[in-house]
Structure 1
Amino acid sequence: MDELKRYSRQMLFTPIGEDGQKKFNQSKALVVGMGALGTAIANHLVRAGFGYVRIVDRDYVEKSNLQRQMLFDEEDVAAALPKTVAAKKKLEKMNSSVTIDAITTDVNASNIMDLLEGIDFVMDGTDNFSTRFLLNDACFKKKIPFVYGGAVSSRGMTALFVPDVTPCLRCFIQGGEQTSGETCDTIGVISPIVDVIASYQVTEIMKYVAGDHDKLHKSLLTMDIWNNHSYAMKFSSPKEGCTTCQKKEYPALQAGTRKDVTSLCGRETIQIQLESRFDLKEWAIKLQKTAEVKETPFLLKAQLEEGERLVIFPDGRVLVQGTEDSGRAKALYARYIGM
């Protein structure tokens, strides 16, 4: 009961109360992506007392993140900390009663079902639609809620998708493909839209977990906070023939959907994963002969004489930074790592 005093102001809000708070405390969340949306989502979940929060991201903290990714600071940049490691440190200081499970990995078809083990709902903090469709398919297969969110420029979108209750994300995007090509790294983003969308995402899941389902938005919300536009596309019946929520084929989960070479959201970075593990100390020794190497407990950076940089992770991933050409990235990988 003493621990509940932390949430006294939240419990005074009648739709939550003590019963709702206890439901929060017993809930287990998966937040995929510890970028702008993910850090804001995790901040709200942990402060609200959701009892277990699993955070997953594949990247490390860079200076350009600090403008909008609220859990990071300049010390994290200097240490080149993985985002999950830096976020876990901050979140545990906020609320020591919440279990923070931090995993540094690329979320893909080979590991998503393991990441969902024991989870009650999934929060979207990602920056690309291929991962969102993967989360959508996995959640509908596991029959757990998926809270979609996206923010770019001054615009944002969000919706809560619930298996057997609402249509799925794939129903709203024809063919299951992103079409705009706009990202934070190509047209920018302002921090307030991130906060607004993350707040909507967390509020919807709070309603859901507390059991106040009549107050759920039941729509795909879109807004532009700079140009003062907002629109709610009310949920209709699922699209006939949807491969996720109607045919239950879950295409993003099918074998062979994992990409070994992936472009990271307009960042002049190509991710390559052909190995299952890397011994960082071993590779530091190998690469010191031909590159300027910086090793941390979490990753290895190698500045190449060609101008690009390799960032090597223990889980078998390599980021080739400084190019958007996948052929160039694979050539450098083959030259320095081997294929």
Structure 2
Amino acid sequence: MMKEKIEAVRQEIVSASIETPAQLEEFRIGYVGRKGKVADLFAGLRDVPAEDRRAVGQELNELKQLAQQRFDEGKATMEQGQTSDVPPPLDLTLPVVPKELGARHPLSLVRDRIVEVFARIGFSVAEGPEIEDDWHNFSALNFPPDHPARDMQDTFFIERNPGQDNDIALRTHTSSVQVRMMERHKPPIRMIMPGRVFRNEAISARAHCYFHQVEGLYIAENVSMADLKQTLYYFAREMFGPQTQVRFRPSFFPFTEPSAEIDISCGLRQPGTCQICGGSENICKGTGWIEIGGAGMVDPNVLSNCGIDPERYTGFAFGMGIERITMIKYRISDIRLFSENDVRFLQQFTSLG
């Protein structure tokens, strides 16, 4: 009777599955522990006749060793699996894991869209250095020596030379690229200049010490304010929708005359006509209009400074902040999100790339 019990437990030990930590623990309790089946068999050894006790005891010891051996092998296998750098064998029957797509930065998306819109009407792209001299950043653009933009409050100067006209600074606008293009090319000139600019400003939800601009320049014979307006009407409707309205407010810039601020309608006054703010007052502050940039006719002095005859040629220029366009288009309320590299923010634009 005892031998039959020993044989039954032996078969259980041999056939037991030990593939997970839970199964290993279950095996330990059932066969190796003090309250397991092997321990119960040892407790029953006293009921075995004296003449058979020696042989049965030997079989029980072998059974105990077998149980301990299987437990030790299972434990070692699991510990090795946890520390091994060898990957599990490849199962070719499993479905393919989809490859995750990265996300393009929203500023890159909008910059490329702006370039695409203006390329349709003949504007090419020009770039220039981010570190500029005084001539290209200020003087050639009609900034007088005492203009506030030259003050340390607004400009990151790298090298100051008081009383001289050769300061070196991080460019405060991409208008410096316009000067370089007018110096190097003869009219007609039709270009846009996207790029990063720097200004010594306090960082907040609506302002940053560096941001991105795109400026445009068109120089040719008989260019008029009407050409400027139609160009910006076209851009606004392509960027924000066909129902977008544009208005021009008189303003002042040293390098354009006349000058104007550019506003677009946000849909507050006529809900449903524009998808920019959906009738919210958060963006337009209740006015129904959002400023997107400045523009004007190139001042004749600027043309002369760059070697272009102002008696023969006229032109217009405009400038817009790419962050401002992006914030309006995607309803982003904090400009700091563009430079914080928060993956949670950037992943929202995965499907737009």
TM-score, with length taken from structure 1: 0.24
**More helix as a share of residues:** 2
Query: Which of these two proteins has the greater Rg computed from alpha carbons?
Result: 2
- Higher relative contact order structure (alpha carbons within 8 Å, sequence separation ≥ 6): 2
